[in-house]
Amino acid sequence: MRVLAAMSGGVDSAVAAARAVEAGHEVTGVHLALSKNPQSFRSGARGCCSIEDSHDARRAADALAIPFYVWDLSDEFKADVVDDFVAEYAAGRTPNPCLRCNEKIKFAAVLDRAMALGYDAVCTGHYARLVADGERIELHRAVDQGKDQSYVLAVLTPDQIAHAMFPLGDTPKEQVRAEAARRGLSVAEKPDSHDICFIADGDTAGFLDAQLGTRPGPIVDETGARVGEHDGTHRFTVGQRRGLRLGRPADDGRPRYVLDITPVTNTVRVGPAEALRITEFTAERPRWTGEALTDARPALVQIRAHADPVGCHVVPAGEDLLIALDEPLTGVAPGQAAVLYDGDRVLGSATIADTTSLAEVGTASAAG
């Protein structure tokens, strides 16, 4: 096959490309330039996509004796990932830019361009497995559960999965580094990148302040009483405890957490930890890695990249999903991705829209 290997400049994508070459494919390496100012996306081990990264990717391609190109997708990245991230926070939601990047950039813009150029597949260093079931190809968790990235790949469609290659899905990370060293790849000991790639210093609140400005407003408790001030609702996410700067402690002395965010009234509401315990939620814009779910069924759901999955019951509700949890979860925020699994197999994903807390269920029962 003709394979386009997306090479970030890190060890994972370099070894993935090497395995594609070793498998006998005709491989071309490509590095994605995602920033107009490449140095702005890295600070130490944070971020990615610096000039250093493009040089590391080129050196790896040279070591593998494959053609190498740099594709400028900075305009697409800003519109589909960065601007979306800012807009979601402005709307009081908590987005995951890695999912959006996989959906819009790596497996839309890149794959579309690759197919137009006559390539058969795009190869990446993601930790996930592709498992054939007859003519169908399923997306599964990686063997290395600590590095599993199936959560951020759950936005892929069946057609995209059919043209994807994840050569590292069956290999623990330490073995990948050892293999890179054996192959003479200079990135063998390069640190993994962390955090949001376009916020190199890790200061998400500061980045959003620069984009959205400050807009002071009230922090209120569950009764509506004003207990503090904030500089902008975009600085908060559901479940947050630090940085609240509350001027009035809770009557019982216990810590308080962000319960919800209302940009329209510029209000942040806080309360006790137990008020964060969610029993069900609705999720919108589902994307299925296989056949779309049309009937209610049990499944596992995961709401963060490295969270433990919990049992749930999924009910299609028009264009949305109603997900009832077998046990309460905390820190469930609108805007997060809810990824559904059947064991290790990814069923699909949807965006959390509204939540129902255990306290709200109790209040409704008492009123009834």
The amino acid occupying position 237 is T
Is 8 annotated as belonging to a binding site? yes
Is 81 annotated as belonging to a binding site? no
Asked if 101 is an active-site residue, the reply is yes
Is 7 annotated as belonging to a binding site? yes
Asked if 48 is an active-site residue, the reply is no
Which parts of 230-344 fold into alpha helices (H)?
A: none
Instruction: Spot the catalytic one: 48, 101, 123, 312.
Output: 101
Is 11 annotated as belonging to a binding site? yes
| Structural element, H or E, at residue 226 | strand 226-230
Give the span between the Cα atoms of 297 and 314, in whole angstroms: 5
Instruction: Sort strands 345-357 and 337-342 into parallel, antiparallel or unpaired.
Output: antiparallel
Count of CB atoms situated within 10 Å of the CB of 266 = 14
Is 13 annotated as belonging to a binding site? yes
Is 9 annotated as belonging to a binding site? yes
Give the span between the Cα atoms of 358 and 367, in whole angstroms: 14
Contact (CB, 8 A) for 114 and 28: no
Is 24 annotated as belonging to a binding site? no
Which residues touch 180 (CB under 8 Å, ≥6 apart)?
Answer: 11, 14, 15, 18, 187, 188
Is 120 annotated as belonging to a binding site? no
Is 47 annotated as belonging to a binding site? no
Is 6 annotated as belonging to a binding site? yes
Instruction: Spot the catalytic one: 48, 49, 123, 197.
Output: 197
Q: Which residues are catalytic?
A: 101, 197
Residues comprising the binding site? 6-13, 32, 125
Residues comprising the binding site for ATP? 6-13, 32, 125
